[in-house]
């Protein structure tokens, strides 16, 4: 491999990934617009035409923003790599005469800052223009700014020590550094999982124990029936920021808790809430969570092994616009994280397919342990409340969607002629 050849490969992969994503986005918009005039037959008596058209317009607006996002990301990636951004940043950081490890961390932090600052205007636009136009936004500019700052501080508090540890291992731990770095990465994931429910999430939202005695009893009966133990049932003030509703499990082991968005509780009837929760329980009981975690860990190990090979290859640095001696640990880590999505893009349909299979299984679990009609009713309400389109382009959906289209989920839950 030579630097020039790797540059050509990188540009070709980037062009292919951007091209496919643009093509899918256009297909999605065309398909949704083509089906905008009428509610699909199967939903005709459950969804109003105005809700259907709102979903179509919302989908088009978000897809259009996604295109801009995609192009901005590609431009930033090219500017940092082949455009010479990192090649200019590196000597500038070297001139600070910090110790080598601190220089590497500074390079990572600088690139993370650049990427975040570039992403801010679009994030602002998403919340205050698009979400606002469709009536979903409930956040204020002050709250949004506070969220951004808190997010940055948490990312720094958790990310900088991890980056420093990995860079230290790269420089000092010998040929098997990638294996130790992987162990550190797995330990880090467990730490974040442990901190999230009790330390991180409360920085953004208020959590109150579920007060509704009737619902609480219903949920506790469901948990007992499914043989599931949780440390508590909480209601989160999701309505502070957005009208979108959700429910989730968080934490692990004995510290597991169940969290309902207040927006979900206000919209769904008790039997529908029970069905949604049964679906989420299904993900645990059918070991989806552990399977996903194991896949993710295995993939991380493989990728770190690859980085372990690349770090000593001068063509890797030259091919991505930062020629010079090898190894340079900070540069290698930054380049790897920047270029990785361009090459792993091709597997995204596989991970989406895997996830959709789990969704079908969790729906079946909910039908067995709660009620299929209640789950259908909840799904229709949630699709409507979130303005999710009922008529996605089949190819776009197959490529990206972690959840099957509404019609497919409901068809499974309502056997017989549709
Ligand atoms: Zn699910």
In sequence order, what DSSP letters do the residues of 215-263 get, joined into one string? HHHHHHHHHHHHT---SEEEEE-GGGTBS---EEEES-GGG-EEEEEHH
Closest C-alpha to 20, from 347, 339, 406: 347
**Sequence-ordered strand ranges (E) for 125-231:** 207-209
pLDDT in tens, 41-63: 888 888 999 999 999 999 999 99
* pLDDT value, residue 417: 54
| pLDDT above 90 as % of the chain | 81
Which residue in the list 237, 280, 313, 414 is annotated as catalytic?
Answer: 280
Cα 404 to middle of ligand 1, angstroms: 10
**pLDDT tens, position by position, 342-366:** 999 989 999 999 999 999 999 999 9
Phi, psi (degrees; rounded to nearest 5) at 92: -65, -40
Predicted TM-score of the model (pTM): 0.89
Could you read off the pLDDT of 327-347 as tens digits, one per residue? 999 999 999 999 999 999 989
Residue 414 known to be catalytic: no
> What mean pLDDT, rounded, does the chain reach?
93
pLDDT at 248: 76
What CA–CA distance (Å, rounded) separates 58 from 156? 34
Asked if 311 and 256 count as a contact pair (C-beta separation under 8 A), the reply is no
Read off the pLDDT of residues 380-399 as tens digits, 9 standing for 90 and up: 998 888 899 999 999 999 99
Is residue 418's pLDDT more than 70?
no
Beta strand 257-261 pairing with 232-236: parallel
3-state secondary structure of 137: strand
Q: How far is it, in rounded angstroms, from Cα 303 to Cα 192?
A: 21
Distance 221 CA to ligand 1 centre (A): 21
Active site residue 131: no
């Amino acid at each position: 491999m030579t630097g020039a050849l790797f540059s050509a490969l990188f540009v070709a992969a980037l062009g292919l990934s951007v091209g496919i994503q643009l093509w899918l986005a256009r297909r999605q918009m065309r398909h949704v617009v083509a089906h905008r005039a009428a509610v699909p037959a199967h939903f005709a008596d459950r969804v109003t035409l105005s809700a259907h058209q709102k979903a179509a317009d919302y989908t088009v607006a978000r897809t259009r923003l996604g295109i801009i996002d995609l192009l901005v990301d590609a431009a930033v990636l090219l500017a940092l790599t082949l455009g010479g951004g990192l090649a200019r940043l590196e000597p500038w950081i070297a001139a600070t005469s910090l110790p080598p490890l601190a220089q590497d961390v500074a390079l990572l932090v600088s690139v993370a800052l650049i990427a975040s600052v570039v992403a801010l205007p679009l994030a602002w636009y998403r919340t205050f223009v698009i979400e606002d136009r469709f009536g979903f936004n409930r956040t204020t500019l002050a709250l949004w700014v506070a969220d951004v700052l808190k997010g940055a501080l948490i990312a720094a508090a958790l990310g900088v020590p991890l980056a420093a540890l990995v860079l230290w291992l790269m420089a000092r731990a010998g040929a098997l550094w990638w294996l130790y770095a992987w162990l550190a990465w797995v330990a880090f994931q467990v730490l974040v999982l442990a901190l999230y429910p009790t330390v991180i999430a409360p920085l953004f939202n208020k959590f109150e124990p579920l007060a509704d005695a009737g619902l609480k009893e219903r949920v506790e009966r469901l948990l007992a029936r499914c043989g599931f133990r949780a440390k508590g049932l909480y209601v989160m003030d999701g309505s502070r920021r957005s009208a979108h509703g959700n429910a989730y499990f968080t934490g692990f082991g004995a510290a597991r808790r169940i969290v309902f968005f207040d927006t979900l509780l206000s919209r769904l009837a008790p039997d529908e809430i029970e069905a949604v929760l049964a679906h989420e329980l299904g993900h645990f009981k059918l070991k989806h969570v552990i399977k996903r975690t194991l896949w993710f860990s295995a993939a991380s190990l493989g990728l770190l092994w690859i980085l372990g090979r690349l770090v000593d290859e001068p063509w890797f640095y030259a091919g991505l616009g930062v020629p010079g001696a090898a190894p340079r640990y900070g540069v290698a880590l930054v380049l790897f994280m920047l270029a990785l999505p361009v090459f792993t893009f091709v597997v995204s349909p596989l991970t989406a397919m895997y996830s959709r299979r789990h969704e079908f299984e969790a729906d079946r679990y909910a039908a067995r342990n709660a009620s299929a009609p209640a789950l259908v009713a909840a799904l229709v309400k949630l699709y409507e409340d979130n303005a999710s389109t009922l008529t996605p382009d089949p190819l776009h959906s197959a490529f990206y969607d972690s959840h099957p289209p509404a019609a497919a989920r409901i068809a499974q839950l309502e056997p017989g002629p549709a």
